[in-house]
Structure 1
Amino acid sequence: MFNPTRDQTRLFFIDAWGKLGRRELLTPLEAMAADIIAHHPEYHALLEAKDSVEREFPPEDGQINPFLHLSLHLAIEEQLSIDQPPGIRALFDAACVRYGERHAAQHDLLEALAETVWTAQRERRAPDGAIYLARARQLAGL
């Protein structure tokens, strides 16, 4: 199992964004990451800054860690590609219809996934797919 460090994860996003800008060949995963980044113009300057790997994003500052946000998007894309947990793809498709676009539907899943992972870590247990789907359905108003 691939288990990158914080810095490796950050460099992956920075490199993918840089490669896209330089029109270099991207791996399929880098292309997916670059597409996600393209939908987040608020992160572009950060990904181009020299100190972005070392920056801290403490929750008490009231901002989400951009690298965590991008990583959650990437995790959701993987979940959708394999429909895991089962039913996530159908829920997402219904949310896309409701919103009329893909990105807002992804943000419902992202929020539900973040809550599910946080709860599982706090309670020292595995994430519960059923709870994740129920929360995503609730957030999407489905």
Structure 2
Amino acid sequence: MKPIVDTFVRVAPDCPAAYGIVPVSKGERKTLHEIQYELLAEHPYRYTLEDLIVETHIRHKLADEPIDEARRAEVRAELLRKDHPCMRASVLPKKLGWGVHYDEAGRIALYPMESERYAEFLERTDLKQEPAMRNAKAVKG
């Protein structure tokens, strides 16, 4: 997995949110995007995409399992054998109104679309700018 660096992921062109919405679980277990949000909101620029994939998986699928460093390394190696979508495919920028910034080291932070910081990222010419993936297929007319 090639690291993504110096990139800003804008909210999807068809994002239904008008501002950054904090995801909330409807059931007892937290959703993947709720865990992603919590990790990135509580620790901006701590996680790379690979780190986020591993930590989210552990908290979502292995929450009842004791995880030591050896098990964490095993889970990481197993998970990262296959490709995973980047944050462009996450519900956070697609539907919930969060921009995603990858810094020069590939670490990730979230910014709500209504914030000044989000607007500043949009103006930067030194960053690769990408929209989140659309929620629906474009209709050909």
Structure with the bigger percentage of strand: 2
For normalisation by structure 2, the TM-score amounts to: 0.31
Q: Which has the higher contact order (CA 8 A, sep 6+)?
A: 2
For normalisation by structure 1, the TM-score amounts to: 0.31
